[in-house]
Structure 1
Amino acid sequence: MPEETAFPNPWALDPRIRRTGDTYYFAGELLVASQDVPRVDALLGPVRTLRTADDDPLTGFVTRIAVPGGDDGDETDLPSLVSSMRSLPQGPRVGLNHAFAVNTAGPITGQPKLHGGLASDPLPVPDQPRAGETTPCRPVRVAVIDTGFDPAALTMPVFGKPFKHHGHELDRVYLDPAARRIGLMGGHGTATAGVVARYARNCELMSIQVLSVDGITDEVNLAAGILRARDAGAEIITMSLGGVFEGDTPPVALEMVLDSLPAETVVVAAAGNVASATPNFYPASRPGVISVAAVDTTGPVAAPAGFSNTGNWITACAPGVRVHLPYVSGTWDHGTQPLTFAGQVAWSGTSFATPYVAARIAAATTAGQSCRDAADLLLKALSDPFPGYGRYLAAPDGFVHPAP
């Protein structure tokens, strides 16, 4: 089991984030199905639409509206407002603008028990020989929705020829570029993309940036990122992120956007990292999504990782402790002491089990076969030795870094 760490609570880094139970959301705004905006107008009075651009990709799906506080200056209780509107006969499709975070997580000192935080600090490690990289197969287009991609990583062998790139949205990476001070989750997207690149060598990789350098996004930006992946022709979408939604109704914008994906698109998502069986961890718990838990293979016998979520909604599990990954270069100083990196990291979380499952699906997809069919065949061939963690997809030597 990885050591606990004490880096900052990422939820506290954005003053707009609020909490109700295990759900985090953005204050002062709601998401409304676009067709239901007139109904919400009638309930709340004329609403003010919040848009990020004139060509908002969510037009026709959802509208983001501002909800001001009361005359006394108090903030509107958005969870109660949503619940009251949903309870009306033929109530509008309305929801919170949920917050989502990366899933390099586990127990962490002083942090809310939702996503947790890092199962361990990222650990600087030297490069090492690896086995089991896949043989070339059909060039499946894979979208990694995360913090984006560090262009400096293109010089690494794992991202070099004959590997194919379909385009990358950039990771901000550094809080201080001059000092090369890495953000809390800077480089996370490069690390997850590296798993896909290493184990699906003939795929076409794209990076979609939705998470901040602190590893947080809102539902609007995540939904828009999924649409960008869809419109770019992604056949597999992998997301090492998640959040708990409020009530019994899944996130409005994400439900509509995921419903818009072609039936053959495979969505793979991290199952979360708080050793919980919560059934509403999203998007992993959505029916049809391949949800991925983590297994610890660093001991003498493989076992479920102590931080991994569990439940009968989880599809698969894969190694997720001390995974050896390509990373950025610089100083990460969010733990007990500064750490210096030179492009390699050992990191833990369902974040890194997830892209491995996505990569293996891509690598298994043959000419004329859909990724959905390849996923079904791959998963059905696996055993389930860990009840509540899905079918186990083992990784080859070199996937995890040896314990010190």
Structure 2
Amino acid sequence: MADEVLVATPDVGVVQGELENELGARRPQVAGRSMSRVTRFILPGAAGGRGRRSTLDAPAIVRRLRNRPDRPRVGLNHVFAGNGIFTGQPKLHGGAGTDPRATPYPLPAPEAPVVGSRPVKVAILDTGMDPASLALPIFAQHPLHGTHEMDTVYENPATQAISLMGGHGTAVAGIVARYAPNAELTSIQVLNQFGVTDELNLTAALERAAAAGAEIVVMSLGGALLPEESVDELATMFDVLPPGTVLVASAGNTETEIEDYFPARAGRVTSVAAIDTTDGQKAPASFSNSGDWITACAPGVGVHCAYPAGTWNYTANGAPVVSTGYIAWSGTSFSAPYLAARIAAGTMENGTAADAAEKLKAGLTGGFRRYGGFLDAPPDFLAP
């Protein structure tokens, strides 16, 4: 976000003079949900008129503050967005890799619980949940639900015109509901209906996940950092979560051997790439990122997903997609929740989600170089 500087709230006192008195930065109140870990400063002139920018160099200010002897935790406010390769790539980005395809076929019923498994709290940080989709059988039959923050879904509710990333969180949640019947689902709305958020709101969403007691956090979002930026600096946002919390993130859909993709690249995070298993074959998906930092890969092409009813008009060929509740969609966005669901399903009465994650990852074989170990899925994971 242009002209914004974030400071860890406990460190505000040591840099307050430089930012407010010397530079004239101001601290606006955070709109919407409360935020305690991070304080945002707006550089002078940035909000003085439509499109107006501050004349101050925000990255240079951050570098100067970080070089102070007291080492305050300071950074830029990065942008995150729903990851569609058809929309281009903002600085931080994540989500679907192709246009959705409408399908009339309902999802199969949720799998039976694994013998000896226990309920696990899973938080899905995404666009939220479409309230109407909760009536779909995959959610109505799912026994455990926490709080679902709402996905506004439509750019025009009167015509049911679905926004660019409207329903993305519903699709992700449906995968977890289907393969982890012991998961208590909580949807946390961090991306708006067009798939956009920023670091400040992602940090706030992680606070809400911690307050909900999440044992597994699913993030189908992310993006590439600039060369001079540090994954470690951004990764401090996960400190609000207990050390044993399992973090799962999509590896991204920019078809590159990228090195600094956040949050998937962070040390605490299990990163998931996508594999194409259509037509009985197994190969890296054409859109998936790759790299030695990727933990695992799973099917991610033509995934059968729950989706809001309406019309999606962002296709590359201009033909609208008309959904009656189900679609086929491709992207690392859908590989990641499948792996998270398998971790949740395998969490035993006498164990933790972290134990289940380590066991699952240790058993992965047959992957591809720079895509991690392969986690297979049943054939009906893909849409007919």
Q: CA deviation at 1:94?
A: 1.1
1:31 and 2:6 correspond: yes
Partner of 1:190: helix, strand, or coil?
helix
- Aligned amino acid, residue 169 of structure 2: G
CA distances 1:154-192 after superposition (whole Å, capped 9, x unpaired): 211111235211120000000111111100000000000
CA distances 1:58-78 after superposition (whole Å, capped 9, x unpaired): x2x221111124999654332
Partner of 1:385: helix, strand, or coil?
strand
Q: CA deviation at 1:109?
A: 7.2
CA distances 1:247-292 after superposition (whole Å, capped 9, x unpaired): 242375x533311211221110111111222222111111021111
Partner of 1:258: helix, strand, or coil?
helix
Structure 2 CA distance, aligned partners of 1:116 and 1:315? 17
Q: CA deviation at 1:334?
A: 1.7
User: Following superposition of structure 1 onto structure 2, how do residues 4-403 of structure 1 map, counting pairs within 5 Å?
Assistant: 26-46=1-21, 47-52=25-30, 56-57=34-35, 59=36, 61-69=37-45, 75-103=55-83, 105-106=84-85, 108=86, 115=93, 118-127=96-105, 130=108, 133-136=111-114, 137-246=117-226, 247-250=228-231, 252=233, 255-335=235-315, 336-402=318-384
- Could you tell me whether the CA contact under 8 Å between 1:244 and 1:282 is conserved in 2? yes
- Could you tell me whether the CA contact under 8 Å between 1:240 and 1:270 is conserved in 2? yes
Q: CA deviation at 1:54?
A: 9.5
The total of aligned residue pairs comes to 372
Structure 1 CA distance, aligned partners of 2:80 and 2:87? 20
- Could you tell me whether the CA contact under 8 Å between 2:366 and 2:374 is conserved in 1? yes
Partner of 1:172: helix, strand, or coil?
coil
Structure 2 CA distance, aligned partners of 1:367 and 1:112? 42
CA distances 1:307-353 after superposition (whole Å, capped 9, x unpaired): 11111111111111111101000111122122211100111110000
CA distances 1:194-220 after superposition (whole Å, capped 9, x unpaired): 000000012111100010100011111
Change beyond 3 A, Cα 1:325–1:62: same
- 1:17 maps to which residue? none
- Could you tell me whether the CA contact under 8 Å between 1:132 and 1:397 is conserved in 2? no
Q: CA deviation at 1:53?
A: 5.4
- Could you tell me whether the CA contact under 8 Å between 2:94 and 2:333 is conserved in 1? no
My pick for the range that moved more, 324-333 or 33-42, is: 33-42
CA distances 1:353-393 after superposition (whole Å, capped 9, x unpaired): 01000000000111121000011011101104301111110
- Could you tell me whether the CA contact under 8 Å between 2:96 and 2:332 is conserved in 1? no
- Could you tell me whether the CA contact under 8 Å between 2:146 and 2:185 is conserved in 1? yes
Q: CA deviation at 1:132?
A: 8.4
Change beyond 3 A, Cα 1:208–1:54: closer
* Alignment RMSD: 2.4
Partner of 2:60: helix, strand, or coil?
helix
- Could you tell me whether the CA contact under 8 Å between 1:331 and 1:338 is conserved in 2? yes
My pick for the range that moved more, 36-45 or 364-373, is: 36-45
- Aligned amino acid, residue 385 of structure 1: G
